[in-house]
Amino acid sequence: MIEIKDVTKRYGDTTVVDRVSLTIRPGGVTSVIGANGAGKSTLLSIISRLIPADAGTVTVDGLDVATTPGELLARRLAVLRQDNHMSVRLTVRELVAFGRFPHSGGRLTARDHELVDEAIGYFELDGLADRHLDQLSGGQRQRAYVAMVLCQDTDYVLLDEPLNNLDMRHAVHMMRRVRRMADDFGKTVVLVVHDINFASCHSDTIVAMRDGAVIAQGSTAEMMRPELLREVYDLDIGVHEIGGSRIGVYFS
C-alpha cells in the first residue's frame, strides 16, 4: 500500500503539489489524470523519492521513502520518468540487465539472465537487443526503458507517461502489458496518463488532479463522467459507452 499524507511541494512561490493525501491500495492499475501542470509528475516523483517533498510523508508498505535506504526501496518500487535523455551508449540488453542491479549488484545470476530475456521478449525487443540505445527510435527506446523497469521486478511500478513516443499499436500493447503486469504478476501499477481513454480502458482506479490537489478519486466508472472531466480539464467531454468501455469524446 502506498500512503501519501499531506504532501506539499513548492517551487518558489508556486505550489505544485498542495497538501495531497492519497492511498493507493495494492494490486491493480491506478491512473493519475489532469491537465498540464496539475502536479501529476511531481507527485509521482515524490512518491518514488526522486525529489524530496517540502512537507508530508509517503510510505510504501510502511517504509518512509524519504528515510528508507535507496537500495532497499529499489527492490520494492520502480519508477520511470517522462523525459529520459541518455547520452550513454549501452545496448538494449545491457540497459535491461541493469534492472537487476538492485537485486544482484553487477553479478547476474542465471535467474537474472532469464528475467532479462523475458523482459526483452515481453516488449518485442528481441531483434533490437544488441543495438545501442542511440540507434533506436524514440518509441523503441521507451519500450527498452519500460522493459528495464519490468526487469526490476518490484511490487510497485510507477510510470510517468509510458505512452510517450509510442504509435497507436505500441501504445495499446504497452497498456495491455501494464494491465497484465497487474493481473498476472500481481503488481501495483501507478501511471500518469494524458489520454483519458487509455486510462478508462485499462485502469481500475483513476485519480484526478488539478492545481496541485487531488480533486477526485474513484473507480473508472465513477470517474468517467462529463461533469467530473469538465472540472478536471475545463473542457466539455462527452462520455459514451463503446464496446464496454467509457470513451470520452473531445476531438471536435
Partner 1 sequence: MTRLRAWHLVAGTAALAVLAAWSLFVGVSDLTLAGLLDGRPDDVRVLVESRLPRLVAILLAGTAMSVAGLVMMHLVGNRFVTPSTAGTTESATFGVLVATLLAGGEALIVKMAMAVAFALLGTFFFMAVLRRLTFRDMMLVPLAGIMFGGVIGAATMFVAYRADLLQSLGAWTAGDFSGVLRGRYELLWIAGAVTVLGYLYADRFTVAGLGRSFAINLGVRYDRVVNTGLVLAAVITAVVVVTVGEVPFVSLIVPNLVTMALGDNLRYALPATALTGALFVLLCDILGRVVRFPYEIPVSTVLGVIGSAVFLTLLGGGKRMGLR
Q: Which residues contact 27 (CB under 8 A, 6 or more apart)?
A: 182, 186, 187, 188
- Which residue, 82 or 165, has its beta carbon nearer to partner 1? 82
Does 70 contact partner 1 by CB under 8 A?
yes
Q: Considering only the stretches 12-20, 78-86, 119-127, 197-205, report the one whose residues sit in contact with partner 1 under the rule CB under 8 A.
A: 78-86
Does 67 contact partner 1 by CB under 8 A?
no
First to last CA, the chain: 40
Does 48 contact partner 1 by CB under 8 A?
yes
Q: Which residues contact 87 (CB under 8 A, 6 or more apart)?
A: 134
- Cβ at position 171, least distance to partner 1 in Å: 22
Task: Choose, by CB under 8 A, the member of 75, 111, 113, 180 that binds partner 1.
Answer: 75
- Cβ at position 195, least distance to partner 1 in Å: 23
- Which residue, 144 or 229, has its beta carbon nearer to partner 1? 144
- Cβ at position 235, least distance to partner 1 in Å: 31
- Which residue, 55 or 86, has its beta carbon nearer to partner 1? 86
- Cβ at position 207, least distance to partner 1 in Å: 21
- Cβ at position 102, least distance to partner 1 in Å: 4
Residues 128-157 that bind partner 1 (CB under 8 A): 130-132, 134-135, 149, 152
The one-letter code for the residue type at 226 is P
**Spatial contact of 39 and 26, defined as CB atoms under 8 Å apart:** no
The one-letter code for the residue type at 111 is R
The one-letter code for the residue type at 11 is Y
**Spatial contact of 245 and 204, defined as CB atoms under 8 Å apart:** no
Does 71 contact partner 1 by CB under 8 A?
yes
**Spatial contact of 229 and 199, defined as CB atoms under 8 Å apart:** no
- Cβ at position 88, least distance to partner 1 in Å: 5
Q: How far apart are CA 168 and CA 163, in angstroms?
A: 9
Please give the full DSSP string across 29-81, using - where no structure is assigned.
Answer: EEEEEE-TTSSHHHHHHHHTTSS--SEEEEEETTEETTTS-HHHHTTTEEEE-
- For 16, phi and psi rounded to 5 degrees? -90, -30
**Spatial contact of 212 and 225, defined as CB atoms under 8 Å apart:** no
Does 43 contact partner 1 by CB under 8 A?
no
Binding letters toward partner 1, positions 90-119, x by CB under 8 A: xx--xx--xx-xx--xx-------------
Q: Which residue ranges make up the site for partner 1 (CB under 8 A)?
A: 45, 48-50, 69-75, 78-81, 84-91, 94-95, 98-99, 101-102, 105-106, 130-132, 134-135, 149, 152
